[in-house]
Amino acid sequence: MAATIRDVAQVTGVHISTVSRSFSAPHLVNEATRGRVLAAAARLGYRPNRAARALTTGRTYNIGLIVANIANPYFPPLIKAAQAHARERDYHVFVADTDEDPAVEEELVHALAKQVDGVVLASPRVGNRLIEQLARSVTLVLVNRRVEGLPAVLMDMRGGTRQVIEHLARLGHTRLAFAGGPPGAWTNREMRRAAAASARAMGLTLEVLGPHHPTENGGAAAAEEVVRTGATGVTCYNDLMALGLAERLGELGVRVPEDVSVVGVDDISPSRHTRPKLTTLAMPTAAAGRLAVDMLLQLAGDPDASNATATLDVALVVRDSTGPARRS
């Protein structure tokens, strides 16, 4: 059996409350006494039981991190950064994967609610309505989703998408397509709108494809559509889809970028290795993870801290999957 506060108190010859305060309110106990307590604790290998502490204080020192799909290379850097950042602040993190299923997402928030001081909901797939409701039972910080009144860290998808369209336009493309991802994703909506607006402003046509599953298979599924529409420039919901799209286009005898230019979003690591290397929008996922944790801990400590939302810049990385439009 692990040592409890009582063991330490007994060994030291003080009351358990003194032991407790030696850890959580050092200034309230005599320096010498505290020294003896700490020594005894160290000797016994005593560590306060966080769960028990949480029972009285209401603070668990745990947070939840819910993501759509751990296996999507977009998330690991975010998870890693969030976890490391939390750990430095003495927080542990529950990581959960919804497998893109909104129902699972909702259930997870509820299940985790009691065990955490708050949860970071990354790229949620549930509706805004439900999010607002969930936010009433647990402190929430959103990533990649804007909901009135809730703290969030966002990426500048509009600016980024505009850069992509401009890039394509500069290369002479006039017929564009957007291969859409999950309909529930805020990012998807932002991109779709921004792409449509930019294309219109520049006098280009833009076909919206999808929705597709945000994976290589989903991208592959969009390939035929692309061919059918005759678009020469395609921007995808994410890199995974772009990769699958490029691969499938190759199989269909369509060369990238000679015949069709393909752009991804996320700049996940595989995109740097493919041939052609993928032109993409790089997302500051690690920074987003850290920032989300910061906001969450802030809020957890002080319930009416500001509910600010931060928007992070994204950067267009031009590589080899985009090139001059073929003259028709």
- Identity at 287, one-letter amino acid code: A
Nearest to 262 by CA among 323, 221, 200, 314: 323
Does 52 bind DNA (CB under 7 A)? Our answer is yes
Residue closer to a copy of itself by CB (options 56, 328) is 56
Does 42 bind DNA (CB under 7 A)? Our answer is no
Q: How far apart are CA 322 and CA 260, in angstroms?
A: 8
Helix (H, G, I), strand (E, B), or coil: what is residue 311?
Answer: strand
Does 31 bind DNA (CB under 7 A)? Our answer is yes
* Smallest distance from a copy of itself to CB 269, Å: 6
* Smallest distance from a copy of itself to CB 314, Å: 19
| Candidate ranges 42-50, 206-214, 234-242, 258-266; the one touching DNA (CB under 7 A) | 42-50
Q: How far apart are CA 113 and CA 140, in angstroms?
A: 10
| Candidate ranges 47-55, 218-226, 248-256, 284-292; the one touching DNA (CB under 7 A) | 47-55
Residue from the set 10, 38, 44, 53 that interacts with DNA by CB under 7 A: 53
Does 302 bind DNA (CB under 7 A)? Our answer is no
Beta-carbon neighbour count of residue 176 at 10 Å?
26
By CB under 7 A, how many residues form the interface with DNA?
A: 32
Does 300 bind DNA (CB under 7 A)? Our answer is no
- Using left for φ > 0, alpha for ψ between -120 and 50, and beta otherwise, residue 186 falls in alpha
Does 90 bind DNA (CB under 7 A)? Our answer is no
- Orientation angle between helical segments 5-12 and 16-24, nearest 10 degrees: 110
- Using left for φ > 0, alpha for ψ between -120 and 50, and beta otherwise, residue 92 falls in beta
Does 200 bind DNA (CB under 7 A)? Our answer is no
- Residue 14 site contact among DNA, a copy of itself, none (CB < 5 to 8 Å, cut-off depends on kind): DNA
Bridging pattern class, strands 315-317 and 279-282: antiparallel
Give the DSSP per-residue string, 204-239.
-EEEEE----SSHHHHHHHHHHHHHHT-SEEEESSH
- Identity at 4, one-letter amino acid code: T
Residue from the set 35, 42, 43, 49 that interacts with DNA by CB under 7 A: 49
* Smallest distance from DNA to CB 136, Å: 17
Binding map of DNA across residues 108-137, x = CB under 7 A, - = no contact: ------------------------------
* Smallest distance from a copy of itself to CB 199, Å: 29
Does 34 bind DNA (CB under 7 A)? Our answer is yes
- How many angstroms from the chain centroid is the CA of residue 75? 6
Q: How far apart are CA 292 and CA 82, in angstroms?
A: 8
Residues that bind DNA (CB under 7 A): 1, 4-6, 13-18, 20-21, 23-25, 27-34, 46-49, 52-53, 55-57
